[in-house]
């Protein structure tokens, strides 16, 4: 057998027994990711190159195997139990991919007796998450308890303070304490992964921190709450009301018994504030997000929007403006043909607009045990491989203070639905107030089919009027609506939904 043939055989045997990919072999042993592919196609490396690579293979074979990465998981609910199940079931495959064994050695939850469908007999049980976080028996702490303060915060801090890497899926914790935790992590040379905290199974944090690390982001927007998207999708597809859709979402386990956090837009605001920091290099400012939920959206809005070529989605949007950075969460009219309009049901999507790649849309499951555990695993992979990136993309001392652009300075199109008394001069008064505020109307639509009855003034009939504006300032719209209300021609609160140009 020729030298070159035995060289090729040695490499193929090495790759097979080690479970390496040809690319990994090429990059690590030959400094060229295509080396093995070229070799297979007949390339004959010089003898000194062959000697160097054979020596590197010999050293690799003699090197002691990397010690297993010992993981402690606090919280064995939906996500935690799924993560432990995957780590136990797929141990061999995961070890092959990471090049190092990953073992759950300790866990923590409230109830020891609950059946979680996982085997915890061979792992150490802790009742106290902080004790687990500090335990000498783990190398990496995974927090899957939830909650912005309490045991989750105490345990994550405890681990980071002793330089132990942490992975968490906890958006509330990150939104409230993300900058402080990133600082503790950096001061103690520990990694902090939170891929699962935004949009569940969609790898948006990694994309922003690494893939688009050098890009300048102009706008980020997305559907980040599956409960709201499920409700709006069903309202649109089936013509049923908000309350009925919410009740179904609760029955199916998509919505909590108290749905305020989801349907009020606050969950989306938490996630958006984390993305804003990663996109614009500023501190996380979860309490400076303009938030409107979806509870006031009616079938009339869904129907009129559809007739005008739009769908209504709850979007979280952050963008630079002349006054700072806008962070807003609100129901939004999006053109039916846009990519985001096609994201239905419990699915999530995040769109990133950058100077270099224009728009990137990442879509996928935003919640649920397996998708969320998959993102937790992605962070574990990075830590096992020794990847090091500042938690918020740039070192925390480089983050700029968040400069909030006032909502009244927001410019965009508006959908306005009014219930006006059917009396002479009502429509003219509305139009004149709009013109007086300098608002240019794209269309004015009267919908007799959506006529409502006014319980307080039974002898006055009401007509539904819908106005679509060209791009205008939020402040102008609000001022015009206040004057319209004072004129006394309308009944009830006007409905105002922002239109996003996509």
Ligand X SMILES: NC(=O)c1ccc[n+]([C@@H]2O[C@H](COP(=O)([O-])OP(=O)(O)OC[C@H]3O[C@@H](n4cnc5c(N)ncnc54)[C@H](OP(=O)(O)O)[C@@H]3O)[C@@H](O)[C@H]2O)c1
Task: Pick out residues in 358-377 that bind ligand X (CB under 6 A).
Answer: 367-368, 372
User: Tokens representing 368?
Assistant: 């649920």
**Nearer of residues 156 and 480 to ligand X, judged by Cβ:** 156
Using the contact rule CB under 6 A, the part of the chain among 163-171, 252-260, 344-352, 380-388 near ligand X is 163-171
Among 78, 95, 277, 319, binds ligand X (CB under 6 A): 78
For ligand X, which residue of 53, 138, 145, 334 counts as binding (CB under 6 A)?
145
Q: Is-contact 208 352, C-beta < 8 A? A: yes
Residue 146 engages ligand X in binding (rule: CB under 6 A): yes
135 touching ligand X, by CB under 6 A: no
Is 80 one of the binding residues for ligand X (CB under 6 A)?
yes
Which CA distances in Å does 369 have to 120, 375, 474, 483? 18, 10, 40, 50
Of 152, 122, 116, residue with least CA distance to 137: 122
Annotated catalytic, 271?
yes
Q: What string of H, E and C letters represents the secondary structure of 257-281?
A: CCCHHHHCCHHHHHHHHHHHHHHHC
Spatial separation of the C-alpha atoms in residues 76 and 202, rounded to whole Å: 22
76 binds ligand X (CB under 6 A): yes
Structure tokens at 431: 């139009």
Cα–Cα distances in Å, from 70 out to 142, 165, 186, 278, 360?
A: 11, 11, 21, 29, 36
Measured from the CB atom, is 272 or 462 closer to ligand X? 272
Residue 193 makes contact with ligand X by CB under 6 A? no
Closest to ligand X by CB, 83 vs 383, is 83
Residue 170 is a binding residue for ligand X (CB under 6 A): yes
Distance of CA 264 to the CA centre of its chain: 17
How far apart are the C-alpha atoms of 350 and 364, rounded to whole Å? 9
CA dist., res. 36 & res. 59, Å (int) = 19
The answer to whether 335 and 341 have CB atoms below 8 angstroms apart is yes
Candidate residues 26, 72, 151, 203; the one interacting with ligand X per rule CB under 6 A: 151
CA distances, 31 to each of 26, 28, 57, 258 (Å): 6, 6, 13, 56
Q: Does 275 bind ligand X (CB under 6 A)?
A: no
Indicate the residue whose CB is closest to ligand X: 77
Contact with ligand X (CB under 6 A) among 86, 104, 109, 272: 109
CB of 227 to ligand X, least distance (A): 11
- Cα–Cα dist 475/263, whole Å: 25
Token pair for 400: 């700029």
**Binding flags for ligand X, 404-423, as an x/- string (CB under 6 A):** --------------------
The per-residue DSSP string of 136-192 comes to: TT-SEEEE-S--SSHHHHHHHHHHHHTT--EEE--HHHHHHHHHHHHHHHHHTT--E
Nearest approach, Cβ of residue 279 and ligand X (Å):
20
Identify the active-site residue in 134, 171, 206, 271. 271
The minimum distance between CB 362 and ligand X, in angstroms, equals 15
CB nearer to ligand X: give 37 or 125.
Answer: 125
Work out whether 110 is an interface residue with ligand X (CB under 6 A).
yes
Q: Which C-beta is closer to ligand X: that of 109 or that of 314? A: 109
Residue 267 near residue 274, CB atoms below 8 Å: no
Q: Does 178 bind ligand X (CB under 6 A)?
A: no
Minimum CB distance to ligand X smaller for 40 or for 110 = 110
Q: Is 142 in the site for ligand X (CB under 6 A)?
A: no
Q: How many angstroms separate the most distant Cα atoms in the chain?
A: 103
Rule CB under 6 A: say whether 77 interacts with ligand X.
yes
Residues belonging to the active site: 271
| Interacting residue ranges for ligand X, rule: CB under 6 A | 74-80, 108-111, 114, 129, 144-146, 151, 169-171, 196, 200, 367-368, 372
């Amino acid at each position: 057998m020729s030298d070159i043939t035995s060289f090729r055989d040695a490499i193929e045997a090495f790759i097979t027994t080690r479970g390496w990919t040809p690319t990994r072999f090429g990059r690590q042993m030959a400094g060229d990711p295509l080396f093995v592919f070229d070799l297979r196609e007949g390339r004959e490396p010089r003898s000194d190159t062959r000697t160097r690579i054979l020596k590197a293979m010999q050293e690799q074979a003699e090197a002691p195997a990397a010690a297993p990465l010992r993981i402690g998981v606090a919280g064995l609910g939906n996500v935690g139990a799924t993560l432990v199940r995957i780590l136990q079931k797929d141990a061999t495959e995961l070890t092959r991919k990471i090049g190092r064994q990953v073992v759950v050695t300790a866990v923590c939850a409230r109830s020891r007796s609950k059946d979680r469908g996982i085997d915890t007999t061979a792992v150490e049980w802790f009742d106290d998450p902080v004790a687990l976080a500090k335990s000498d028996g783990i190398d990496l702490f995974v927090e899957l308890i939830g909650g912005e303060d309490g045991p989750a915060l105490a345990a994550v801090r405890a681990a980071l303070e002793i330089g132990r890497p942490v992975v968490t899926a906890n958006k509330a914790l990150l939104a409230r304490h993300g900058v402080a935790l990133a600082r503790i992590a950096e001061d103690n040379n520990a990694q902090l992964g939170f891929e699962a905290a935004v949009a569940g199974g969609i790898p948006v944090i990694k994309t922003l921190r690494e893939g688009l690390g050098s890009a300048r982001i102009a706008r980020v927007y997305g559907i980040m709450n599956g409960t709201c998207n499920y409700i709006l999708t069903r309202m649109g597809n089936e013509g049923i009301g908000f309350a009925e859709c919410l009740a179904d979402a609760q029955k199916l386990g998509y919505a909590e018994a108290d749905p305020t956090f989801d349907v009020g837009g606050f969950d989306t605001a938490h996630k958006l504030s984390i993305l804003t920091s990663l996109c614009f290099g500023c501190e996380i400012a979860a309490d400076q997000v303009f938030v409107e939920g979806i509870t006031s959206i009616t079938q009339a809005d869904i129907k009129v929007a559809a007739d005008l070529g739009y769908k209504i989605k709850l979007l979280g949007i952050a963008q630079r403006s002349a006054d700072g950075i806008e962070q807003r969460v609100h129901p939004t009219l999006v053109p039916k043909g846009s990519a985001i309009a096609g994201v239905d049901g419990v699915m999530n999507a995040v769109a990133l607009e950058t100077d270099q790649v224009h728009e990137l849309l990442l879509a996928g499951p935003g919640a649920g045990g397996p998708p969320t555990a998959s993102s937790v695993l992605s962070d574990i992979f990075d830590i096992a491989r020794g990847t090091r990136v500042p938690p918020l993309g740039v070192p925390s001392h480089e983050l700029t203070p968040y400069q909030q652009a006032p909502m009244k300075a927001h410019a965009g199109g508006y959908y306005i639905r009014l219930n006006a008394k059917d009396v002479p001069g009502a429509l003219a008064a509305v139009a004149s107030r709009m013109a007086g505020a300098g608002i240019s109307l794209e269309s004015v639509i009267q919908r007799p089919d959506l006529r409502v009855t006014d319980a307080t003034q039974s002898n006055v009939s009401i007509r539904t009027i819908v106005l679509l504006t060209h791009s205008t300032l939020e402040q102008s719209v609000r001022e015009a609506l206040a004057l319209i209300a004072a004129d006394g021609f309308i009944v009830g609160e006007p409905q105002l939904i922002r239109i996003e140009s996509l």
